[in-house]
Amino acid sequence: LNRMDMYVKDIQAGICAVNGEPVVDKENAATALVNGNNLLGPVVANFCMNLAIRKAREAGIGWVVAHGSNHFGIAGYYAMKALKENMIGMSFTNTSPLVVPTRGKERTLGTNPLSVAAPGKDGDSFVLDTATSAV
């Protein structure tokens, strides 16, 4: 819920579209390219992970990439959706420049969150949800 205020402000400012659905631009049995149509990131990310899970069930792997999206929240949430299906899940995104590199003068790097979730033995699991930098 800590991002709710940001999402509401993005909608009010017209940054994010409120109507519409993500659209598959291109796909094959195991992969897809999705146009998020500038919708809220969680809408696009849920669509993509659900599609990836369906493809993984049918083809053994599902790899879905999106463009035209916005802030998608917690990367681990989407990876854990695959985990609930006893699959390995991965979720990645890029961000705007937020980090000044070593010896740098201005922000040029994103935090670029990534998450991996994998089932383990005896009901255990592994989940990594991290960013590639600290702000």
**Domain finish residue from 50, 73, 96:** 73
pTM of the model: 0.91
Domain stop point among 73, 95, 114:
73
Tens of pLDDT along 66-108?
999 999 999 999 999 999 999 999 999 999 999 999 999 999 9
Q: Are residues 67 and 115 in the same domain?
A: no
Q: What is the 3-state secondary structure (H, E, C) of the chain?
A: CCCHHHHHHHHHCCCCECCCCCEEEEECCCEEEEECCCECHHHHHHHHHHHHHHHHHHHCCCEEEEECCCCCCCHHHHHHHHHCCCCCEEEECCCCCCECCCCCCCCCECCCCEEEEEECHHHCEEEEEECCCCC
At residue 134, the pLDDT reads 72
69 and 121 belong to one structural domain = no
